[in-house]
Chains A and B, each alone.
Chain A
């Protein structure tokens, strides 16, 4: 029980990393779209 709660806390603390990765994907796709238009 306490082990699973500790795992949950770890997982919840990982939210910034998840959001950061998704934000990088968003910015990359935006720039790639503009770059495609430049060619």
Chain B
């Protein structure tokens, strides 16, 4: 059953907000880690919570070794530890994705559904972020706080991707007491999320497909409706997580920033599922582009940027589903963005494109272009995404 429709989720969330904000001794994220462990046990059952705890403990042990290796300085011999950590995290991700596909077909690959219930696709991204930060010399959180970062109960449904640095900064800050205005702002965000998910998205679904009708994608009109449905559904979940995060004082990134008003596809991906975009930029796009430019030379910087875009979005496609159609979808997304970048670079060289008339036209036509492009790009993969 959908977690947001379970009464116990809201009891647990309310209790967690109160408990995390109480002036207990200890660091704020340790407090959240403790409360989060209890929340996971109440919502998923003690076996699943113990599994999540074990996952965090193994990650913590590997990260401790990684941190010790980093502390021995640049003169330390090269070790394969970062690779072991990454291979373990990515191996579990591949298992999780294959298991999801097999479960959709009726036969599970793994004997337990722990990875699915923890939304491991998101946990994997957080593991990579934590690993990179610790390897770069940032402090490692204690195991309970790390569990709070990796598997926060309020992000179990659909992320967003938390940022390790933000979690660490919140751990080092002294928590402010929950005032009326902050509480009201948090409740306002949560209820807006519920309005998006349960009224606007569900209303649109009922309007288009009937009260109990399945989501179908017969033509492009269905695809356009589903795109708007997906926005309200996903943005709704993200707002609920954001509101609960604000109420508890736990860093929770903003995931959607009016993406339907984006001026172009690049702008769209900055606003839609922004936490994933930020992760891809930090962990794939920038390191890969830097490496390519260093190896190819600055004269081929543009080619490096275009190739990096395509490779980054190929990862985005595979992250959504480990299959050939999703791989091709990722390549198509990356190619569209690369083509758009070429056109924008060409326009920048022409003075007429900088005029107020052209800018106004771009403001008006931009969102329509983005909407049509995304409907066309999403049309072949609805079967996997929904």
Do A and B form a real pair?
no
